[in-house]
Chains A and B, each alone.
Chain A
Amino acid sequence: MPIPKTNISDGEYRAACEFLIYEARLFDQHRYLEWLELISDDIHYELVAPTVQSAADATTAPKTVPLFSENRASLQTRIEQLANPAFTVSESPPSRSRHFVTNIWVERGGQADQLAVFSNLLVYRGRGFDLPPHFFPIVRNDILNQVDGGLQLESRRAESDEHIIGSRSITLLI
């Protein structure tokens, strides 16, 4: 059987890839204020962790643990902290981070001008004294709006693969 048709043009696929790759570069260069210009005013941004539940018991709704539950105003606050070393102990000196984005799959979104973009993300974070560094595996379900001048992040629902997160904090964006 062939894989499902996505009904997405080469140009749309390329634009989605470029969006994710560019935003990853902004994160790794700590250019958070520029990233704010790529997101919609009513963004919904969340990261959850799974809990280990029985595969046999399909009747129970999955229980997940929220790690991020953000809107534009709270992201703005977080970014003001991350962008200013005087406002953070845990990012002063800043961590090194590297966002590796792979497995990008693009489909038509709920509305005609939206793309649904699925990607895998592996984030390295290391900061001097507290060894070993953390590798954070994440899957992301994004909705991107096609607006004048390009794409804009409308929502991001991300899930960690770790149910017990192997790091003392998440002081970065995903």
Chain B
Amino acid sequence: MLRTTDDFYDWDQLIDEQRAHASTSIFVDEQIYALEVERIFNRSWLFLGHATEIPNPGDFVTRRMGDDQVILIRGDDGKPRAFLNQCPHRGSLISKLDNGNCQHFVCSYHGWTFNNAGQLKTTSYDDFYQGKLDFSANGLRAVAQLDSHGELIFATWDADAVSLSDYLGDMKWYLDIYFNRTPGGMEVLAPPQRWIVNTNWKLGALNFGTDNQHLHPTHMGPTALGILGAPINEVVNALGSSYQISLDGGHGCVNTTLPHDDLPYTGLPKELIPLYEQTLSPEQATILRRNVVTVGNVFPYLAWIQVALDTERKGEAIAAGTLRLWQPIGPHQIELTCWYLAEKEAPEAHKQAVLAEGLRTFGMSGMFEEDDLDIWSSIVTAGKGSIASTSTMNFETALNFEPVDDFPGPGRAYFPMLPECEQFNLLKHWKQVMSRR
């Protein structure tokens, strides 16, 4: 059973749809965070990892779902499963590792032993139970549902949750452009970067889903250094002619695409172009062909960015992408978890370039990312004040724009991409989920 707590919040006041304002308290309040764990993280489909992180039977990684520790493991039957990282006997962590491979987990406290499908095989003291212990009820606690979209593995604690496919809805169409675009699919290039940022997880979600007004003020520095892989006038051109996409379920993205085909597949390996065109629909392939930068956020907290980059400024673009989680650790902190990926079919040199360009720009030492993180930390520093937490955040530019109908992909498309439409839609979805008992 999932825990449910009554609440006395005036959700319409916290997210004021008439004014397009949001209370600062939703980014700093301890009780609201506790409700988020219950109503969002314990009920949503949460990203656990990429299939290529656990390629072989017995491979596992340890992760979190909401505030719980979990193990994602591939069983001897080849199926991924996820379990609470907690011994059913007396509650110790089953694994203290980040990754590994095993046939059996042996609990280091009293020796209960589980196979890699989570079943209890022995307690080490089976005789003392005199045959009365129900082994089948004392395995590792499995998530309620686990499923994959392509190689992206998700799970939920909610047995009544809609299917993963329905949960992702139209977001699948966009996810596939960036993470499911060749027959072989993507591979992770390294274990994820993990680091601690003193901010609220929703500030990451809102930024990647999608804050486009910050691009110029926040990121002027690295942009002026000339490390984007497309000429700056073309990037400006693309920013001016692109749409932001708002999807049911609180998902959103931006595909910053050139209005022409003069720089096809900027930063992507030529060898892969036929594979993209055989895997994607013509509309999806057009977005990829014209893309110079894309960001998106899958509700609640899985985000991506892919940018054409040239940090060495040698006139060669590399389109480098990351997937990341705004993994909350309480209301005021996240463990940012960031994977770099490339197509399995890509030449080795391209994979290495994606990794290098990716971490130089987005990641804990990223020349763009460090500026976002500095600002998001400052919002929580300021917002924790008793006066400051009663202020509201302003999304009023969202009020003046309606979806347009000349965008070829699914969802509600807004033009231009700059107003705060999708960000406020994300908050409206947040309110809907949070006010549901």
Contact = CB atoms under 8 A, between A and B. Distances in A.
A129 B381 contact: yes
A60 interface: yes
A171 B375 CA distance: 14
B61 to A, nearest CB: 9
B371 A168 contact: no
Contacts of B360: 69-70, 74, 77-78
Contacts of B195: 164-169
Nearest to A57: B100
Interface stretch (B41-49, B244-252, B307-315, B411-419): B307-315
What is the predominant secondary structure among interface residues of chain B facing chain A?
Answer: mixed
A51 B377 contact: no
A33 interface: no
A9 B196 CA distance: 43
Contact of B191 (A47, A65, A73): A65
Contacts, number: 140
Interface in A8-45: none
B370 A169 contact: yes
A149 to B, nearest CB: 27
Contacts of B355: 66, 69
B216 to A, nearest CB: 12
B193 A168 contact: no
Contact of B312 (A57, A77, A89, A169): A77
Given A74-B312, A163-B98, A90 B374 contact: yes
B432 interface: no
A7 to B, nearest CB: 35
Interface stretch (B7-15, B283-291, B361-369): B361-369
Interface in A57-106: 57, 60, 63-71, 73-74, 77-78, 80-81, 84, 86-90
Interface in B100-159: 100-101
A89 B313 contact: no
Nearest to B339: A65
B349 to A, nearest CB: 13
Contact of B198 (A49, A90, A168): A168
Given A65-B193, A170-B364, A73 B359 contact: no
Given A65-B191, A89-B375, A81 B222 contact: yes
Interface in B336-390: 355-356, 359-360, 363-367, 369-371, 373-375, 377-378, 381
30 contacts: A47-B365, A49-B193, A51-B98, A51-B99, A52-B97, A54-B97, A57-B100, A66-B356, A67-B363, A69-B359, A70-B356, A74-B311, A74-B312, A74-B360, A86-B224, A87-B221, A89-B221, A90-B370, A90-B371, A130-B377, A130-B378, A163-B194, A164-B195, A164-B335, A166-B195, A166-B196, A167-B196, A168-B373, A169-B374, A171-B365
Interface of A: 47, 49, 51-54, 57, 60, 63-71, 73-74, 77-78, 80-81, 84, 86-90, 129-130, 163-171
Interface of B: 96-101, 190-199, 218, 220-222, 224-225, 227, 311-314, 335, 355-356, 359-360, 363-367, 369-371, 373-375, 377-378, 381
Ranked nearest first, the 7 interchain pairs of A and B with the lowest CB-CB distance are A87-B221, A169-B370, A73-B312, A89-B371, A90-B374, A51-B98, A165-B195
